[in-house]
Structure 1
Amino acid sequence: MILENENGLLLMRHEQLGERDWRSDPCYKIIFSPYASSKYQTPQGDIQIHQNEFFIFNPVDHHRQLQAATEKFLIEVQPAALHAAAEQMGIKKIEPEFSFMSFRHPQIQQWMSFVRDFLSLHETSSPSINQLFLDNSLTQLAMMMLQYGPGSHQTEFPTFKSKGSIDVVIDALKQSYREDWTLDQMAAVARMNKYQLAHLFKEEMGLSPYSWLQMYRLFRSQYPLLYTQRPILSIALHHGFKSVASYNHLFKKVYRKTPSEFRRIHGMKN
């Protein structure tokens, strides 16, 4: 099934799930993996999108599908639709660059499940009903991408409510993210052993506790990086990184560019 209008496109199908040709689309493309992992190739490296995760390609990102499991489900959102949503939400950065990472968020997962179920039940509905549904869905998705999609417009790493013990740890990490946390210290906050914490945290959040903390530090650093002239070394150390090298390394992994390049492209002078 393919539905499209001037604001975007929705595609759901169960065939042609193997390798495809290279693409470079002038839109944001959010790809879901509702059943199992899917895999995409980019010039910067392969992307594995695990079950219940999503990945957002930025406009003109070169990519090609290597493997989709059981179902291919994606939505394209035109930049103008995302800009309109950003303006209505009061977000300064109306041309966000989403990070080079697959992510999970229960709100987007619930939205995805609802849309898939609706389409399955109303596949033979009249074109006008499907177009109305697509219009509303694209508006909702644009807002959720800005709220929950990790990118250059964020001042914090997107989070969500989880099981009680994990929420306690996350609250503690947020309050003291500049501190040099160990897994033992995190486990003490959760009142469980470190192996239990590591397993439960990864299961709930999709990241290890330390990886989550590093991502939180990076996203907290984005505002001063983009909207002040503070030295990058100062920003890195102030936000809990042990060195500017570790900060640069993570930034390169998340955005495929250094903090200096990120600042030059997205900073306040632009």
Structure 2
Amino acid sequence: MVGFRELFHFTGGIPLNLFVRFGSDNRWHFHKCLELGYCAAGNGELSVQGKNYTLKKGVLFLVNPYVVHSIQNQSADFAMTLMQMDFQEYESLCPGITSLDFHNVISGGLSEERLLTLYRFVAAIVYEASNKLSGYLLRTDSLLRALAQFLVDYLTVETRQARGPRSAESDRIKHLIEHIDVHYNEEWSLDELADMVGLNSQYLSRLFKLSVGLPLTKYINSVRVKKSLPDLLDSNKTIAQIAAQHGFQTVKSYYTAFAEVYDLPPGKYKRWQKNMQREKKRLRPVESDIQLNELFDDLYTYIQNSEMRTFGGYGLSRQREKTGARRA
């Protein structure tokens, strides 16, 4: 079951959307905002630009704007904190910030000192947004601006203009992705798709792989596979019926595409999901504020012993005690 708990949604002019997500929907998608995620519990997998990354408790990851990705849970207790930051608001303060690309996956590619600083920023912002104590909007705004500067100073990879498609081309890729999501089970030729977005077929192939990280055919098959999951898991249809209804010409092509996405054939994946559902029934859903704070306890340790005046959240331990007493 997929669910989420919103903590902060572009409040007070602050360009931040912050929520906790439980489970995943496996869809390929993208955001107009930079997305910074923290795995708070369980295990999952992030697929981005043709690569898969393991998500486990404590892992940070970052996905650039307009980069297509998917997140899937691999355990029943999988939970993530997701921050979406619209740096368009900071363009006047830092010209060019909306054209920057940052390190896609954080935890494996930073020095210990910079990674610790990033954890502290994330922890402090989550704390302020979830507890909403007096003055939290001012502190959250200050933290987010400081985080933006930290990303620009230490995590910049290159400018998107130099590497990726121009905005008009981005719009064409976006339109194509939206079309595939709706009409995924139809048959097209590459020329037909290219005509639809007004591009040469060879150029479309190069542009799509540059933008998404997957060849167009593999992307279409991955969408078809993920759209087929409800029929695979919750119906009595045969594999042949499922393959045909979701755009595959043969059962073999469905098996091949399925294994490329999930590293398992359809039958084994179905058995694994049933076992996970049985496990999920034994777990208590995270609903209350107190349970959310328990979910964030490990994250909050990154700011317990730091000089929080640097991050805008001084007096953290005393505030948490006060918060706990108020809710008790």
TM-score, normalised by the number of residues in structure 2: 0.40
Larger proportion of helix: 2
